[in-house]
Structure 1
């Protein structure tokens, strides 16, 4: 699909999506019992809400960049904006502090597949789908669009390595910032796998 046409469609659909997101956000807000800025910035729903708010801005940015670059720059502009817009909200959600941030002991899980096994065997099917699917999507936009934009990244092994490196940085930040989250090697494995699978899905559009 033409990137400029796609951007226009996003601009037209954005008000409808934004209205639905606003209604859902206001409806769930009292459930958090938080005051001040936290309901607006410190919840998963807030991260989703603001990513939807930014959709029209991202679509407009694609059009601006494409116009500056000419016809040959449409795909490049869309890929650049998509990488940022599709990755930042996930990283934001990962770095949200838990209830024991700064107080609870820091937790690290370095045994591969242990956390994944516990989720599959002890959690509910919904929990397993959300946790595994969410981890696969964290760097999916990076894996999908980075090879389209950068020829040097047009390789599944390179995208696996880049996804793993970015995930290690995020997991390290969780530990250093004392966010009451588990820094897990399984998250790194799933994040990297998601980036690699997304790269495979976009292979026909990779930069040559």
Structure 2
């Protein structure tokens, strides 16, 4: 299952867990020295208690640490289920993941409490403890500095997470007993039903991260009212595409052979970087953007025509197995900087870029050369493969969706401040284009709606890019 940026969230939780455990072990050992006579325990119980302490520390780190001063401190959401409804209505994978993580955060509480403290092993007690704990956390988020806000939905989701955790504990306990009282079986199975929405929420977050997620966010320039008046016949369905390509390590191996560079790579901010003599090779985390600096430029202008530079670049790429057919070529002069800060001609740059109407590729290749030949090659070329055919919203329906959500990109020639919030717009032409979605992991169909924007007596031409794939 493709989780999009859920992977980074899980990594953050794992790293926080490891750090919390590092604090919990010595803290629990110190605590045990003072309480060992009053609260004797078996080795297994010590392990559980230490893990529970680590869990409490992790929850505190994840919920009470400063949030970068986002400006939300003191604000509050007091409308129950508002963020839940927004997440499912918008289909935002980020919003769905946050809901899922809020449930996941308190699941261990529902497992640890009845295991370590048997007297708490009742559904209503677990729910009450989970509710009070998260209420305390939400209150502290408002009081403590750091840009946190009070959210009633966090309380509901965290409480539900505690119930889900207790469901797991109840089922495991039920499976481990040969005979149990009928009320206990009923409570265990009834509590287990809470697992089904949690699983559904997790799968929804995962699948929504893959299907039909655009990079659009709230954009100034969206009209308050708009209509589509076009009458052209337009497609009712279009293919969607997902990113493909070698892994970061596989690409580094290919490039090392292509450029005859060897040695152990270094990891910096997710990049794999190889330095050998005067050369350096860097591969981006997502595994298809890279840069190879063969040497420092001499700073002398190249004495070659555009065609000569392009011919040299193509031969260089073909010889190393890096050539790609079907790219659009442009050649331009590059600028260098002298020691005194002045600019000077520095050679040629040959660009091979993907065609705008090609949904299977974005980006391109860049080859830099001077009088000494080629000194740098870089690539931002990303490849996409067909994923599935999607039903398209008609342009008028897509426009209504934009007016409700403001998830689009709008451009007009209106002068500010009229360009910030146009009053109305009339679109009479629609074109089907493709735009990168969800962190460039997808290439998705969009409607380009062209027409006229109106505001305060002004009018100007403009266009609006609206999601076309039906959610």
* TM-score bracket relative to the smaller structure: 0.5 to 0.7
Describe the SS at the equivalent of 1:202.
Answer: helix
Query: How far apart in 1 are the matches of 2:145 and 2:89?
Result: 28
Query: How far apart in 2 are the matches of 1:91 and 1:205?
Result: 29
Higher relative contact order, structure no. (Cα contacts within 8 Å, ≥ 6 residues apart): 1
Q: 2:50 aligns with which of 61, 81, 93?
A: 81
**Preserved CA contact (<8 Å) 1:58 1:85:** yes
- 1:112 CA displacement: 0.7
**Preserved CA contact (<8 Å) 1:148 1:205:** no
Q: 2:92 aligns with which of 115, 120, 124?
A: 124
Structure with the bigger percentage of strand? 2
The match for 2:349 is none
Query: How far apart in 2 are the matches of 1:155 and 1:187?
Result: 22
- 1:111 CA displacement: 1.1
Structure 1 range deviating more: 141-150 or 158-167: 141-150
Query: How far apart in 2 are the matches of 1:99 and 1:50?
Result: 17
- In structure 2, the CA distance between the partners of 1:63 and 1:96, relative to structure 1 (3 Å rule), is closer
The match for 1:99 is 68
- 1:63 CA displacement: 10
Query: How far apart in 2 are the matches of 1:165 and 1:193?
Result: 12
- 1:142 CA displacement: 1.6
- In structure 2, the CA distance between the partners of 1:93 and 1:146, relative to structure 1 (3 Å rule), is same
- In structure 2, the CA distance between the partners of 1:205 and 1:84, relative to structure 1 (3 Å rule), is farther
- 1:163 CA displacement: 0.4
- Structure 1, unmatched stretches of 5+, are 1-27, 29-43
Give the 4+ runs in structure 1 shifted more than 3 A.
44-48, 53-65
Query: How far apart in 2 are the matches of 1:76 and 1:152?
Result: 15
The match for 1:172 is 139
The match for 1:7 is none
| Alignment partner of 1:52 is 2:18 | yes
- 1:104 CA displacement: 4.9
Query: How far apart in 2 are the matches of 1:132 and 1:50?
Result: 19
Q: 1:112 aligns with which of 77, 80, 84?
A: 80
Query: How far apart in 1 are the matches of 2:69 and 2:118?
Result: 43
Spell out, residue by residue over 1:7-41, the C-alpha distance to the aligned partner (whole angstroms, 9 max, x if none): xxxxxxxxxxxxxxxxxxxxx9xxxxxxxxxxxxx
Query: How far apart in 2 are the matches of 1:181 and 1:45?
Result: 22
Query: How far apart in 1 are the matches of 2:27 and 2:74?
Result: 40
**Preserved CA contact (<8 Å) 2:75 2:150:** yes
**Preserved CA contact (<8 Å) 1:48 1:89:** no
Spell out, residue by residue over 1:80-103, the C-alpha distance to the aligned partner (whole angstroms, 9 max, x if none): 2222222321331111222336x5
Spell out, residue by residue over 1:80-138, the C-alpha distance to the aligned partner (whole angstroms, 9 max, x if none): 2222222321331111222336x55521111110111112223522x134201211122
- Structure 2, unmatched stretches of 5+, are 1-7, 175-471
TM-score normalized by structure 2?
0.30
| Alignment partner of 1:199 is 2:166 | yes
**Preserved CA contact (<8 Å) 2:87 2:96:** no
- 1:54 CA displacement: 5.0
Query: How far apart in 2 are the matches of 1:160 and 1:139?
Result: 11
Query: How far apart in 1 are the matches of 2:46 and 2:118?
Result: 15
| Alignment partner of 1:138 is 2:105 | yes
Query: How far apart in 2 are the matches of 1:173 and 1:59?
Result: 26
| Alignment partner of 1:153 is 2:120 | yes
What's the RMSD between the two structures over aligned residues?
3.4
Q: Based on CA coordinates, which of the two structures has the bigger radius of gyration?
A: 2
Give the total of aligned pairs. 159
